[in-house]
Amino acid sequence: MTTRRNLIKSTVAAGVGSISFGVPLLLKAQNQYKAEYRMSTVVGTAFAWGKGGEIFANLVRERTQGRINIKQYPGASLVQGQQDREFTAMRQGIIDVLCGAPINWAGTVRELGVFTLPFLFPDHKAWDAALANESIVNDYYAMVRKAGAEPLAIGETGFRQLSNSKRPVTKPEDLAGLKIRVVGSPMYGEIMSGMGGNPTFMSWADAQPALASGAVDGQENPLEVFMAAKVHTLGQKFVTKWNYSNDILLYAIAQPIWNSWNAADQKIVREAAIEASRQQVKLVRSMFADDVEKVKALGVQVHVPNPKELEAFQISTRRVYARWKAQINSSLITKIEEAVVKSRKA
The CATH number linked to 314 is 3.40.190.170
Contacts of the segment 28-37: beta carbons below 8 A, 24+ positions apart = 31/260, 33/67, 33/68, 33/260, 33/261, 34/96, 34/257, 35/69, 36/69, 36/70, 36/71, 37/68, 37/69, 37/70, 37/71, 37/96, 37/97, 37/257
Cα 93 off chain centre by:
18
Closest CA relative to residue 141, chosen from 50, 253, 55? 253
Q: Are residues 300 and 240 both part of a single domain?
A: yes
Q: Are residues 40 and 168 both part of a single domain?
A: no
Give the domain extent around 144.
34-158+247-289
Let me know: does 72 contact 53? Beta carbons within 8 Å: yes
Distance between CA 117 and CA 140 in Å, rounded?
15
Residue 302 lies in a domain: yes
Q: Are residues 73 and 166 both part of a single domain?
A: no
Q: How confident is the model at residue 5 (pLDDT cuts 50, 70, 90)?
A: very low
Whether the per-residue pLDDT at 11 is higher than 60: the answer is: no
Report the mean per-residue pLDDT for the chain: 91
Q: How confident is the model at residue 183 (pLDDT cuts 50, 70, 90)?
A: confident
Distance between CA 165 and CA 238 in Å, rounded?
6
With 0.85 as the threshold, say if the pTM is over it. yes
Whether the per-residue pLDDT at 14 is higher than 70: the answer is: no
User: What's the domain count of the chain?
Assistant: 2
pLDDT at residue 32, as a whole number = 83
Residue 232 lies in a domain: yes
Question: Could you read off the pLDDT of 206-252 as tens digits, one per residue?
Answer: 999 999 999 999 999 999 999 999 999 999 999 999 999 999 999 99
Question: Could you read off the pLDDT of 143-176 as tens digits, one per residue?
Answer: 999 999 999 999 999 999 999 999 999 999 999 9
